[in-house]
Amino acid sequence: MADTVSVSTAMKDEESARRRKRSIAIALVLGALVVLFYVITIVHMGPGVVNRPL
């Protein structure tokens, strides 16, 4: 029975590590998309945005 407990604990630790890596990867991809959309928006508006009257 002790073997079963240690194996399940090891699986939980491994699953936790995989979940953390997957969460970090998803966060990086979402961050990259935010930056990409921001850059595309600024480029699409062009240089006229800076020179507009207030």
pLDDT tens profile 13-36 = 899 999 999 999 999 999 999 999
Residue 46: left (phi > 0), alpha (psi -120 to 50), or beta?
A: left
Q: What is the mean pLDDT of residues 24-53?
A: 91
Distances from the Cα of 36 to the Cα of 1, 29, 30, 43, 54, angstroms = 52, 10, 10, 11, 27
pLDDT at 47 over 70: yes
Per-residue pLDDT band for 8 (boundaries 50, 70, 90) equals confident
- Could you say which DSSP state residue 52 is in? S
Residue 52 confidence (pLDDT): 75
Residue 13 confidence (pLDDT): 87
